[in-house]
Amino acid sequence: MKIGVPIEVKNNESRVSITPAGVFELSKLNHQIYVQAEAGLASGFTDLDYREAGAEILPDIASVYEVAEMIVKVKEPIKEEYKLARKGQIIFTYFHFASSKKLTDAMIASEAICIAYETVQDADGSLPLLTPMSEVAGRMATQQGAKYLEKPTRGKGILLGGVPGVTPGKVLVLGAGVVGIQAAKMAAGLGAHVIIFDISMKRLRYVNDIMPSHVTTAFSNEYNIRKHIKDADLIIGAVLIAGAKAPKLITKDMLKDMQPGTVMVDVAVDQGGCFETTRPTTHEDPTYIIDDVVHYCVTNMPGAVPYTSTLALTNVTFPFIFEIANKGWKEACAFNPALAKGLSLDEGEIICKEILKDRAMA
């Protein structure tokens, strides 16, 4: 198979979808890999590294799309790429269709085969290709939240962990999935007082078992959320419904109950966000303020740490890339039910039920 690896063109997205190690393994089975010049540079991989592993280096993104039977990316195609995708071409990446009708319409029109990392699902319900980036994003949510609590960025001027004689900050984490647990772990490590919310008692019991005593749990409902936001310093949105839009747990009217300088980090922004006031931001311009509340809603948080993120991502995506390359997408999906769950669009036909549901509600 001819496999294309383009540069990610989304703002400050520095990850790359296949490492030289992946190129080496694919090349051993005579697959041809075409890598756009400098695609891996920000992640620590040079064009020479890719050449020595067996890839051919192409000068621009159009050349990569033109030659490849399968495009492997990290983030969803953006407007400049819409016209490059073609009928029958496999595109394997994070899509997050639920948050963008324009993207969905463009990919339907292209008649490409769209397989979404975020909806590949194992039999136990886990999302193996989302997990490593959720781990990175969860840890970064606390890290970024702590930074934007500083006064120069219009936060409260609070050190999350406090110091002897000074009370630590209060962190609310909405959702006890992978993102939420990683965010809580980081906040707890800094010494903050953490409350983690979820609607699953099974998850809350798990959190209670594994976390230190200064991490407490609360059942997620509007009453409890409204109660705790009044003196929260950092609120992290970590809610996920696989393939669908995230529910709005913090409404605009709740902002008036928060203290000025409170920071909200919405990790669910790729799925529409779990705050009503969420709008996508970039690493270049990451925050905005509404009612004196700082919002951080960067859509590709792990892109800021590309070395860590690229290795974490490619560790889990490569076996699926390898399977598609060896068997073709139809046989690979037929053989692997987890991969089949990732199939979102088939030459213009919507396969993913969540996309159909969201379009019906729009």
Catalytic site residue 96? yes
Cβ neighbours, 10 Å, residue 266: 31
Rg (CA), the chain: 21
31, 270, 295, 358: the catalytic one is: 270
Catalytic site residue 47? no
31, 96, 193, 295: the catalytic one is: 96
| Enzyme catalytic residues | 96, 270
